[in-house]
Amino acid sequence: MKNVALITGASSGIGKELAHIHASKKGDLVLVARREEELMSLKTELEKAYNVSVEVFVCDLMRPHSAKEVFEFIQSKNIQVEVLMNNAGLGGYGNFNERELSKELDMIQLNIVTLTELTHLILPQMVERKSGKILNTASTAGFMPGPLQSVYFATKAFVVSFSQGIAFELQDKGITVTALCPGPVKTGFESAAGMSGSGLFEKSASASSTAIKGYKAMEKGKLIVITDGSLKFAINFALPFAPRKMILKMIYKMQHIK
């Protein structure tokens, strides 16, 4: 396999679109997600359309040490990963004290722990080759607090910070790290997170346009890409100067299900 991209959360949404983009550039793929039927369908589609090689690994990345299982799979296939796309993620809606703790811990496991572990396992390959690219799907949520999604926003803040930190550490090793920070995206996330009635997703971007912007930024080695223009302005020029309580109230109102 050549120019291999490993994509987590590849069965739908942004991950699926990233797979199409990479395959269209004649890159081979390792696709990881829970849904075997969707992964196998995507594998067939990509191989037929782009004449690339695609490996599939069905795995629940919310399980502790699932990242090690993914790594052992690529080792067994003698696959060198040139591009790592940590895209799998989970959200959840509601007041923190009213939500099941197990669901919050699953979110932390997937959004933070598995992402960190998989990155740590694959980086030595890249360092040895002195080449590689990492694209971490974060969110504009990572730049602000998020009442009604307090844990989700906090996990994305970790991804934004972690991505920047390791990017600096790796800058002289031929490896770039990019944090993809979209606003609301039409991926089915809102339904899975229990937010179908929230006004937050009324003007959401498509998974395709978000993936294209993220992939292009990764190719250029950009550190952060905020794909929503209005949110980019707010994050860079408005939020840093706004009173904290006002920001919290505004985000709460935006997310509240009517």
Catalytic residues: 152
* Residue 187 vs residues 90, 97, 121, 191: alpha-carbon distances, Å: 12, 27, 28, 9
For residue 42, what is the domain's CATH number?
Answer: 3.40.50.720
What is the model's pLDDT at position 193? 47
Backbone angles phi, psi at 30, to 5 degrees: -120, 115
Averaged over successive runs of 10 residues, the pLDDT of the chain (258 residues) comes to: 96 97 98 97 98 98 97 97 97 96 98 98 97 98 95 98 98 97 76 52 83 98 94 88 89 84
Number of domains observed in the structure of the chain = 1
Structural domain including 107 reads 4-255
Predicted structure pTM score: 0.90
